[in-house]
Amino acid sequence: MSEEPAKVLPFIEHLVELRKRLIIVVVAVVIGMGFAWNLADRILLFMEKPLTGETYLDAAKQAGYRYLNARFPAIYSHARLEQELNRPKTPHPLNYTAPLEPFFMQCKISAIAGFVLVLPIVFYQLWAFIAPGLTRRERRLVVPFITSATVAFCTGALFFLTTIWPFIINFSLSYESAGLRSWLSLSAYVNFCLRLILLFGLIAELPVITLLLSRFGLVSYQFLAPKRKYALLASAVVAAFHADLVTMFVIMIPLYLMYEVSVWVALLFGKKRGAAAPNRT
């Protein structure tokens, strides 16, 4: 039984279809933003958690001090780690200078949270836009694609918020001293965090995209594996758009690791050689 041929749409119809899908996405995000509006304060508190000194890094440091005190008390006393262990937590409140700055930050947080809430709709609209160019068998992958893409984005975003973001903020605050104190801007803090949330969510989509393309026979393990050095270079170029060296590395390393995962995804789940190619004419 032959595959149903893919539909070939004129260019103008492509633009009309794209406009339709974008309008649906914008409306969905606005609705999601409305649902997320009252959650913006809680989301901001979660983003501010690294400023409270109650992260996994602080807990690990405290556990390390206690271990040294129990096993190597001489080193513990000589290094005066008791002062570090009992040092009171210094509050690091965010500050704003413009009258409506908190309102606009609430809008931004709500917009990103609303976008995440409607991710299944966003990915379905993306799929619906490319579906006319797919065969009937390929169009059956719509549910796995939407599910895996949504889970991957949320996983990448949560990984950043729970693991990478505390590391960045703790590293920044480690430069405080008696004569140097942090005065963190609300806009700079929130914009930096939201930008990286989106970036890590997109980075986590790389294996999903590779899985889809490999199932369609558009990429393969044999194509991706020799390109590792170029992937490393591309990861460094993408990460270089962030000014500080620390953020550059915490972006470059996960991005390249996702490429490695994508290579193995193509090997394990890609279309095997010799399989009949679907008719796209």
Give mean pLDDT in consecutive 10-residue pieces for the chain, a chain of 281 residues. 54 83 95 94 92 78 75 74 66 87 94 95 92 80 91 94 89 77 89 93 93 84 89 87 76 91 86 53 45
pTM, two decimal places: 0.83
**CA pair distance 163, 21, nearest whole angstrom:** 34
Domain annotation covers residue 3:
no
What is the structure's pLDDT at 149?
Answer: 94
What is the structure's pLDDT at 84?
Answer: 64
Q: Tell me the DSSP string of the chain.
A: -PPPPPP---HHHHHHHHHHHHHHHHHHHHHHHHHHGGGHHHHHHHHTGGGGT-SHHHHHHHHHHHHHHHH-HHHHHHTTHHHHHTPPPPP---B--STTHHHHHHHHHHHHHHHHHTHHHHHHHHHHHHGGGS-HHHHTTHHHHHHHHHHHHHHHHHHIIIIIHHHHHHHHHTT-BTTB----BHHHHHHHHHHHHHHHHHHTTHHHHHHHHHHTTSS-HHHHGGGHHHHHHHHHHHHTTSSSHHHHHHHHHHHHHHHHHHHHHHHHHSPPTTPPPPP--
Which residue range forms the structural domain that includes residue 244? 11-269
Domain annotation covers residue 74:
yes
Domain annotation covers residue 252:
yes
How many structural domains does the chain have?
Answer: 1
Domain annotation covers residue 2:
no
Domain annotation covers residue 277:
no
Domain annotation covers residue 147:
yes
Domain annotation covers residue 56:
yes
What is the structure's pLDDT at 180?
Answer: 77
